[in-house]
Structure 1
Amino acid sequence: MKSLKQSFQFLHHFRLLSTVTQPLNPVQEAALNEKCILVDQNDKECGYASKRDCHKLVNGEIPLHRAFSVFLFNTKDELLLQQRSSTKITFPNHFTNSCCSHPLYDIIQERDTLNGAKAAACRRLSFELGIPREQCKPEDLQYITRIRYMSEGDGTWGEHEIDYIFVLHKDVTLDPNPEEVKTVLYVPKTKIYNFLNNLKYPITPWFNLIVQNELSQWWENLQSLEKVEDHQNIIHYN
């Protein structure tokens, strides 16, 4: 009999392959002009490209760029998940971790590697989830690690990122932006695998990788996250 984790991996492998391309939403299409930060394999900045060029597959390739992912836990140690809006260009309707996006090249403070990723995370937490700025400041974000991965998504739009992972562990006020977020909910650790296995929608590839490999350890160390910090390495997922 397959283990719960094996079943989860098998199920979501096929869900990720089943993404259907949707017409471009005008609001989301306008955001494709934002400039992402291009990086080399060691996370050194090497220029910029539009969000469009950083997410559209060309001959099976996508430029490597910098991103971040936030895992927001409340004081009950429940993880906030979001379902991405159906109008999102990449991975519409997918469930994912609390907030995911990119530092932008045109915002000078967001080009400052770790501090820049934190600044971008606070900006997007406010924009996507409506969290008041006073409830999320860069110093509230606990850096965990960086991961590098690539996903061909639906065959047209995908991802190729060095992704800074942050934990925000506090109670916050939520007012989700419907252009970005379809649903939000908190899930306790004891129910996370059952919840994900019974979704009618897929989950994003980066969240899938983290759930399979890292999330349990981070969750177990919420009161002592310094134990799981890794400032030296970039975790590579093929």
Structure 2
Amino acid sequence: MSSDDTSGDGLGDDLQHENAGQDVIKVDADDNALGTVNRLDAHTGDGIRHRAFTSLLFDQDDNILLAQRSPDKRLWDTHWDGTVASHPVEGQSQEDATRQRLEEELGVTPDQYDNLRVTDRFEYKRYYQNEGVEHEVCAVLKATLVDTTLDPDPEEVAGVMWVPYERLHEHPRWYRQLRLCPWFEIAMRRDFQD
């Protein structure tokens, strides 16, 4: 956040944030598009329900690639995410948005993975400290990396780690030092429901 705000209300920082110039897709509970809304507005106050995705990449031994969010992220900074998460723009499919973010954030190109597919969708709402809120209908996409070469963008990703997926779910106290993003925790829990 900028240190140039002298108004004392904090709004100057938000208006200068990069998200203030972007839109997300406003949706109903069934993920039907209702137009677009400013991305910053969607993540402040009580939030506005919008479309999002989280992508989980695995290696051929069923280890999941976790990515630590940059300390410069406005929400859930330095938390560990299930590879990448973001929002498609109007007219963009979840798969195309995932391909774009994988390449931008991790340097992973489509020839490095197989079978990218949507496996789940859920709605959730979570507040983050006094900074903002996520209210999303979140699609879960999965793929298997056949080439695990990575080139993370340090403006997006603070670190990466391969973790046995089932062990992460079954033994969360072993990984309690990892602060996980709520959407990833929900996606993982739903993956292992009977």
Smaller-chain TM-score range? 0.7 to 0.9
| Higher fraction of strand | 2
Partner residue of 2:123? 148
| Higher fraction of helix | 1
Partner residue of 1:73? 58
- Say which of 50, 63, 82 aligns to 1:97: 82
**Pair 1:190–1:134, CA change in 2 (3 A):** closer
Task: Report deviation, 1:154.
Answer: 1.6
1:209 match: secondary structure: helix
* Contact preservation (8 Å) 1:81, 1:95: yes
**Pair 1:126–1:32, CA change in 2 (3 A):** farther
* Contact preservation (8 Å) 1:24, 1:87: no
- Say which of 28, 34, 43 aligns to 1:55: 43
1:140 match: secondary structure: strand
Render the CA deviation track for 1:40-83: whole Å, top value 9, x for unaligned: 112111111121111112xxx11000011111001111111111
**Pair 1:24–1:178, CA change in 2 (3 A):** farther
2:128 match: secondary structure: coil
Q: Which moved more, 1:179-188 or 1:202-211?
A: 202-211
The answer to whether structure 1 residue 64 and structure 2 residue 49 are counterparts is yes
1:192 match: secondary structure: helix
The one-letter code sitting in structure 2 at the alignment partner of 1:38 is K
Matches within 5 A, 1:83-94: 83-94=68-79
The answer to whether structure 1 residue 206 and structure 2 residue 194 are counterparts is no
4+ long deviations beyond 6 Å? none
Task: Report deviation, 1:206.
Answer: 1.1
**Pair 1:167–1:133, CA change in 2 (3 A):** closer
- Say which of 157, 161, 169 aligns to 2:144: 169
The one-letter code sitting in structure 2 at the alignment partner of 1:70 is S
Flag structure 1 segments of 5+ consecutive residues without an equivalent. Answer: 1-22, 111-115, 219-238
TM value normalised by structure 1: 0.69
**Pair 1:41–1:177, CA change in 2 (3 A):** same
Task: Report deviation, 1:171.
Answer: 2.4
Q: Which moved more, 1:168-177 or 1:43-52?
A: 168-177
* Contact preservation (8 Å) 1:84, 1:180: yes
* Contact preservation (8 Å) 2:168, 2:175: no
Question: C-alpha separation between the residues in 1 aligned to 2:146 and 2:173?
Answer: 23
* Contact preservation (8 Å) 1:64, 1:161: yes
Aligned residues: 181
2:192 match: secondary structure: helix
* Contact preservation (8 Å) 2:63, 2:164: yes
Question: C-alpha separation between the residues in 2 aligned to 1:24 and 1:79?
Answer: 35
**Pair 1:62–1:74, CA change in 2 (3 A):** same
Flag structure 2 segments of 5+ consecutive residues without an equivalent. Answer: 4-12
The answer to whether structure 1 residue 192 and structure 2 residue 168 are counterparts is yes
